[in-house]
Structure 1
């Protein structure tokens, strides 16, 4: 039997219950879970701000989560390049991506290589953006 490999990308900054929920739910839907921890540079490019917690520390935190079999730094902007280096069968995204232009693009790209995009419930009441706001942390 072939192992189903899942990939759960995220910045995982200011690690909180939403992150834990995504990783837990993703691990329930695959045999081997890779957590892609988005680098500071890629986060700045995608979100216009850098994480509060440095990449090395975020990797250390995520790699010690019981649900995670492997944690890798995501240092390229195209998820297909990540897939080429760390092949997976399913990519997990928060359901806030479903039906959006970026979610649709992701689905089209991965359909070409046979990778499923699976949406997991997004924890709306807790986010790193909200935590940054409450703590008074401005974009860096």
Structure 2
């Protein structure tokens, strides 16, 4: 049985997230969705997620492509693999060819884990959704902000 691992923030869940999970499930027998916890996201991105860890995990548990949810509480993906072993690691292709991506590929190759990249959804992202939400003011019209998504 091939176990796949798809980590992410999964904040402001959108179609790009769903596509990653769908494509990941097509390439493994058992899919584990890794949820990066609130503290790690704040460290990495400088802001806490809008949707808290346990709620993001609950959303993922409800998706038919996901067999298991694992909450990540530390940043080292190899340590995550030690705590919850898997055979294939799935990531958005915005990491492909980057220093971080190449390092990830090298480290996982040493333990027999392959890295598979999926297309990044550029027209919809949590970053763009967050930006649109921050543009919304209490009395401002929502249509204008939502057009920027």
The gaps in structure 2 that reach 5 residues or longer are 136-149
Runs of 4+ in 1 over 3 A off after TM superposition: none
| 1:12 aligned to which of 3, 10, 14 | 10
Number of residue pairs the alignment of both structures matches: 135
Which residue of 2 is the match for residue 100 of structure 1? 98
Q: Residue 114 of structure 1 aligns to a residue in which SS?
A: coil
Q: Deviations over 1:58-96 (max 9, x none)?
A: 000011100000011011110111101110000000011
For 1:11 and 1:115, how far apart are their aligned partners in 2? 21
Aligned pairs for 1:1-140 (under 5 A) are: 3-136=1-134
Q: Which has the larger radius of gyration?
A: 2
TM-score, normalised by the number of residues in structure 1: 0.94
TM-score, normalised by the number of residues in structure 2: 0.89
Indicate the structure whose relative CO is greater, using CA pairs within 8 Å and at least 6 residues apart. Answer: 1
Which residue of 1 is the match for residue 147 of structure 2? none
For 1:49 and 1:103, how far apart are their aligned partners in 2? 23
**Deviation at 1:46?**
1.4
Q: Deviations over 1:87-128 (max 9, x none)?
A: 000000001100011101101110110100100111111000
